[in-house]
């Protein structure tokens, strides 16, 4: 235990040192490393697939369910997907070294704010092995060292991926230790305690899993536990749009965090909307659970208080009739998870009240909650979706893996001159592109 402790701590310190050296490398080295890693993964195809076959064989023996086996599989298609992903990542802009702000404090005293990597990322994810590649290359693109702990079932696959990525990075001259692979559950516990080495933890997995991580570390965690998203159909909604958006929000892909879980309907439109919605939904095999008013209008199962708090991630939708827009906003702020909520309305004032009043990362007008996603938002890559208000909120792209640094260039400048009144600050903002 003590020995193991030391070893994880050493991995953390090694990653921290490597992160600093990575941050100081030219961008070309990181770009070149992405290409080398892509090549290496292709060259190691046989090894990778063999390792995955062993994981699959053991998982089958242990009776893993069919959907989990499917997630665990890493075949030639998955390999093609991850290498294509690296290719597209290589094409994105460099998130590091961006000039965010420039101010002339005084003549010859120039303050810059530039983006820099966070340092070390700690990533904990469940069984999909392709995530190992995606996450480690996102870290590299943004100049961060990374410690990864994948699912137990994918142990051999992750180890083989780790070796390939390390080898590719080595060929491009990355510092040793920039990527660290953790394999046991005990190592995760120890990793969560490395608050002097790791700058950000990103957990990927079930609600319960993410919540556990958030509750057991002093390191900042980026992500979301729940995604309880709402669509509110205002009295001034266009009925066709309302039906389309509500159906899409629930059924386009219900197993994900940005799917609509609760529909709120203004009482003035409920009698028109609900039957039309039910009809449109009928071919989607979706179970509706309604409050008493809803039950009077359409035939649905009853909803109770627990339904407003539930992320079904399934073809189930809770429906509630509200007396006015403010009640809808209050319901969302009370039961929602601050992820994504939409209003359908043709009334500009109602739209403005909703976007101002709903305290969520993403607030949509006349669009499906399913748009809440880094790729759809045009970020090119998605690191995750954050329901925290600090640092990055909502869908997070590469910039969420960066912080900034103030750099001041002077020429012998001292504060005493300003304190004495000999000199005055000019504080001229200089436009940056």
**368 contributes a contact to a second copy by CB under 8 A:** yes
What the block records as the tokens of 37 is 């890693």
| Residues binding a second copy: number (CB under 8 A) | 71
Q: Which of the stretches 57-65, 76-84, 265-273, 376-384 binds a second copy when contact is defined by CB under 8 A?
A: 376-384
**H or E segment to which residue 109 belongs:** strand 109-117
Q: Which range touches a second copy (CB under 8 A), out of 54-62, 111-119, 134-142, 310-318? A: 111-119
Interface with a second copy, residue 422, by CB under 8 A: no
Q: Is residue 13 part of the contact set for a second copy (CB under 8 A)? A: no
Q: Are 183 and 159 within 8 A, CB to CB? A: yes
Q: Is 273 in the site for a second copy (CB under 8 A)?
A: no
414 sits near a second copy (criterion: CB under 8 A)? yes
70 binds a second copy (CB under 8 A): no
Q: Does 355 bind a second copy (CB under 8 A)?
A: yes
Cβ-based nearer residue to a second copy, 39 or 220 = 220
Q: Does 203 bind a second copy (CB under 8 A)?
A: no
Under a CB-based contact definition with an 8 Å cutoff, are residues 373 and 386 in contact? Answer: no
244-250: list long-range contacts, CB under 8 Å, 24+ apart. Answer: 244/280, 245/342, 245/344, 245/366, 245/367, 245/368, 246/277, 246/344, 247/277, 247/280, 247/281, 247/284, 248/368, 248/370, 249/342, 249/368, 249/369, 249/370, 250/281, 250/284, 250/286, 250/315, 250/317
Member of 279, 296, 301, 405 binding a second copy (CB under 8 A): 405
Single out the residue of 370, 381, 396, 398 in contact with a second copy (rule: CB under 8 A).
Answer: 370
From 175-183, 262-270, 299-307, 362-370, span contacting a second copy (CB under 8 A): 362-370
CA dist 139 and 117 (Å) reads: 9
CA atoms within 13 A on the CB side of 317: 32
Task: Return the number of the residue (153 or 399) whose C-beta is nearest a second copy.
Answer: 399
- Per-residue burial over 35-60, b if 16 or more Cβ lie within 10 Å, else e, is ebbbbbbeebeeebbebbeebbeebe
Using alpha carbons only, give the angle 349, 266, 307 rounded to the nearest 5 degrees.
Answer: 120
CA distance 273 to 245: 12
Closer residue to a second copy in complex, CB, 218/279:
218
Q: Does 413 bind a second copy (CB under 8 A)?
A: yes
Would you count residue 425 as binding a second copy (CB under 8 A)?
yes
If binding is defined by CB under 8 A, does position 284 make contact with a second copy?
Answer: no
24 binds a second copy (CB under 8 A): yes
Which residue in 394, 402, 371 sits closest to 223, CA to CA? 394
Give 231's contacts (C-beta < 8 A, 6+ positions apart).
245, 246, 249, 260, 262, 263, 264, 341, 342, 343, 344, 368, 369
Task: Answer positive or negative: Cα dihedral of 347, 352, 353, 357.
Answer: positive
Asked if 391 is part of the footprint of a second copy (rule: CB under 8 A), the reply reads yes
DSSP character for 370?
A: G
Binding span for a second copy by CB under 8 A among 36-44, 103-111, 164-172, 265-273: 103-111
In the list 33, 363, 396, 398, the residue contacting a second copy (rule: CB under 8 A) is 363
- Determine if 174 is a binding residue for a second copy (CB under 8 A): no
Piece of the chain touching a second copy by CB under 8 A; list 51-59, 77-85, 131-139, 421-429: 421-429
In the bound state with a second copy, the residue whose beta carbon lies nearer, of 59 and 329, is 329
Does the footprint of a second copy cover residue 360 (CB under 8 A)?
Answer: yes
Tell me the window of 57-65, 121-129, 310-318, 365-373 that interacts with a second copy (CB under 8 A): 365-373
Is residue 64 within the footprint of a second copy (CB under 8 A)?
A: no
Evaluate whether 315 touches 285 at the Cβ level (below 8 Å).
Answer: yes
Q: Which residue has the tokens 């600093």?
A: 20
Q: How far is the CB of 165 from a second copy (least distance, A)?
A: 24
How many other C-beta atoms are found inside a 10 Å radius of the C-beta of residue 1? 7
- Options 364, 381, 382, 384; binder of a second copy; rule CB under 8 A: 364
290 to 309: interface string for a second copy, x by CB under 8 A: --------------------
Task: With H, G, I as helix, E, B as strand and everything else as coil, classify residue 372.
Answer: coil
Q: Scanning residues 240 to 269, which ones bind a second copy (CB under 8 A)?
A: 240-241, 244-245, 247-248, 252-253
333 contacts a second copy (rule: CB under 8 A): yes
| Calpha distance 212→234 (Å, rounded) | 37
């Amino acid at each position: 235990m003590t020995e193991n402790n030391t070893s994880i701590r050493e991995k953390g310190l090694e990653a921290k040192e490597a992160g600093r050296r990575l941050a100081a490398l030219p961008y070309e080295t990181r770009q070149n490393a992405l290409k080398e890693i892509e090549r290496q993964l292709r060259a190691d195809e046989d090894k990778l697939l063999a390792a995955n076959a062993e994981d699959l064989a053991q998982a089958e023996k242990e009776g893993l369910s069919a959907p989990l086996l499917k997630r665990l599989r890493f075949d030639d298609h998955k390999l093609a997907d991850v290498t294509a992903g690296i290719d597209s990542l290589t094409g994105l802009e460099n998130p590091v070294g961006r000039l965010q702000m420039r101010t002339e404090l005084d003549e010859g005293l120039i303050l810059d704010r530039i983006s820099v990597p966070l340092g070390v990322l700690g990533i904990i994810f469940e069984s999909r092995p392709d995530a190992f590649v995606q996450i480690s290359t996102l870290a590299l693109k943004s100049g961060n060292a990374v410690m990864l702990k994948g699912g137990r079932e994918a142990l051999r696959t992750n180890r083989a991926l780790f070796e390939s990525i390390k080898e590719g990075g080595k060929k491009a001259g990355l510092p040793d230790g920039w990527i660290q692979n953790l394999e046991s559950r005990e190592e995760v516990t120890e990793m969560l305690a490395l608050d002097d080495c790791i700058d950000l933890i990103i957990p990927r997995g079930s609600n319960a899993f993410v919540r556990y991580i958030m509750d057991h570390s002093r390191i900042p965690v980026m992500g979301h536990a729940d995604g309880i998203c709402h669509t509110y159909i205002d009295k001034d909604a266009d009925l066709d749009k309302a039906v389309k958006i509500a159906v899409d929000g629930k059924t386009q892909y219900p197993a994900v965090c940005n799917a609509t879980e609760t529909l709120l309907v203004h009482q003035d439109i409920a009698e028109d909307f609900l039957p039309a919605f039910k009809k449109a939904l009928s071919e989607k095999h979706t179970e509706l659970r309604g409050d008493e008013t809803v039950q009077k209008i359409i035939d649905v199962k009853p909803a109770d208080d627990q339904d407003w708090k539930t992320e079904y991630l399934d073809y189930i939708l809770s429906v509630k009739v509200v007396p006015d827009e403010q009640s809808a906003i209050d319901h969302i702020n009370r039961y929602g998870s601050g992820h994504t909520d939409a209003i359908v309305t043709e009334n500009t004032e109602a739209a403005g009240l909703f976007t101002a009043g709903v305290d969520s990362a993403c607030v949509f007008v006349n669009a499906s909650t399913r748009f809440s996603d880094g790729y759809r938002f045009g970020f090119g890559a998605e690191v995750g979706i954050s329901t925290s208000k600090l640092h990055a909120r909502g869908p997070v792209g590469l910039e969420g893996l960066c912080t900034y640094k103030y750099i001041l260039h002077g020429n012998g400048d001292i504060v005493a001159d300003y304190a004495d009144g000999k000199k005055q600050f000019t504080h001229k903002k200089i436009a940056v592109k």
